Chain A
Amino acid sequence: MQQRVSNLGPLEAVIMERLWARGRPTPVRAVLDELEHERSLAYTTVMTVMDNLHRKGLLGRERVGRAYHYVPVRSREEHTAALMSEVLADTADRGSALLHFVEQMQPEELDRLRSALDQRSSTKSEGE
């Protein structure tokens, strides 16, 4: 079961990738046909993953005839932008979920940083 859950992850990514590339509402069958060139998948597997993505709010869907057609709710860029704004949100509210390499800073602090680095390179070149 654990195996299966971890396998669904990459498949979600692959399916989102395909739907972003197509850019129009797409039925499960069409996604399956595209993916079958690369790996053998059951129709129900793809349908389950797309249904999950719909429940997670990543895909919208509309009924066309007897099947659902799925389309990404947000573009890849919008999704990335939302993720980045959460990552870069004010540290006070963010909690300890992640650790940044550098924090955001004031322009004058940046100047002090640069001058610290410049000092070093000038003393280094004098020494040489």
Chain B
Amino acid sequence: MIADVALVVVAVLAATLGPRLLQRSTSIERSPWVGIVLWQSLSVSAVAAVVLTGAALALPAVPLTNDLAALLSACGAALRAQYETPGGAAASATGAVLAVSVLGRVIYCLAAEVALARSQRARLRRSLLILAQTDPCTGALVLEHEAPVAYCVPGHGGRVVMTSAALETLRPDELEAVMAHERAHLVARHHLVLAVSRALARAFPGVPVFRDAHVALTRLVEMHADDVAASCNERLSIATAVVRMAESKAPAAALGAGGPTSVARVRRLLAPADPLRASGVAAALVIAAVLVLAPLGILAAPAVVAATADLCPIDFPTDTV
């Protein structure tokens, strides 16, 4: 019963307080990869807490005694006592439905997202194969088109694609910076980060943590790619490339097309803050680990209590020899 309550508390905190704290943190953008890890941990924690709440509710109904044999039969009673919930069978059934439906929804949406992205990419690749030429200098696929656009098509044999107008618009140092930025996306597999966050946001549109996580991650992967590009390019080259490419692009048709990310990127490139110190990174990683492991720990705690209780002969019963 305590486990159920604690798991619900974790789920609620991860879904409400967590995103608010992360959004307010200004230092997170100093080391974007740390931010990526934290947002992902928060999402995993929220999902795990809900699924495991269901599992904890369902647990008393699980027939432990049959398969795990006589050794555990005494343990079964102790475990049941630990996980006992008011409501009995009804609570157990509700728990099972909750766990299975949440987990099922996550898996379904992930699979749908991956399948959609794959088919879109396959279609793009087929067209690019016929329409684009490889630029011998940069290795990018070049499309003959008047709008300056640069993007990468991730996945197996990921490629950077540019239009001929982008090649003409950018100065050599800017071109190198754009290539480095896009290659960083491919190497870091940012598309997988975004596929997961987008799938979760789609799966539970009413839960703010997943939508917030997707928005934040979209921004953080760009900043991370900027940082990687900046390790071998002038930050100013990346910043001017962003502005030049944005300037020559047609204005967005739809509102809220996410322009603020570019503004934040340029500001950040021009006035860079030092990356987080080792102590800050370590603290963030510990928080991430706690977030991910807390739900599992809470679920397991009563079992541990039962196992250490006298009733439960997990150790060999030495006193009967």
Contact = CB atoms under 8 A, between A and B. Distances in A.
Interface of A: 9-10, 12-13, 16, 56, 58, 76, 79-84, 86-88, 90-92, 94-107, 109-110, 112-114, 116-117, 119-120
Interface in B11-66: none
A105 B259 contact: yes
B259 A106 contact: yes
B263 A99 contact: no
Interface in B237-256: 239-243, 245-247, 249-255
Nearest to A103: B258
Interface stretch (B83-91, B95-103, B123-131): B123-131
A124 to B, nearest CB: 9
B295 to A, nearest CB: 26
A116 B151 contact: no
Contacts of B255: 106
B251 A106 contact: yes
Interface in B130-162: 130-131, 143-145, 147, 149-154
Contact of B262 (A12, A83, A113): A113
Interface stretch (B74-82, B177-185, B305-313): B177-185
A83 B143 contact: yes
A104 B263 contact: no
B257 interface: yes
B128 A83 contact: yes
A102 B251 contact: no
A96 B117 contact: yes
Contacts of B126: 56
B257 A99 contact: no
Interface residues of B, number: 61
Which one of B150, B194, B240, B246 has the highest number of Cβ atoms from chain A below 10 Å of its Cβ? B246
Nearest to A77: B144
A83 B266 contact: no
23 contacts: A76-B144, A84-B143, A84-B145, A86-B120, A88-B147, A90-B254, A95-B113, A96-B195, A97-B191, A99-B151, A99-B182, A100-B151, A101-B181, A102-B262, A103-B252, A103-B258, A103-B262, A104-B253, A105-B249, A106-B252, A114-B247, A116-B263, A117-B239
Given A16-B130, A102-B246, A116 B270 contact: yes
A110 to B, nearest CB: 6
A102 B254 contact: no
B130 A99 contact: no
Interface string B257-292: 111111100110011000000000000000000000
Given A83-B128, A102-B262, A97 B153 contact: yes
A93 to B, nearest CB: 10
A30 B121 CA distance: 33
A94 B120 contact: yes
A116 B129 CA distance: 39
Contacts of B260: 109
A16 to B, nearest CB: 5
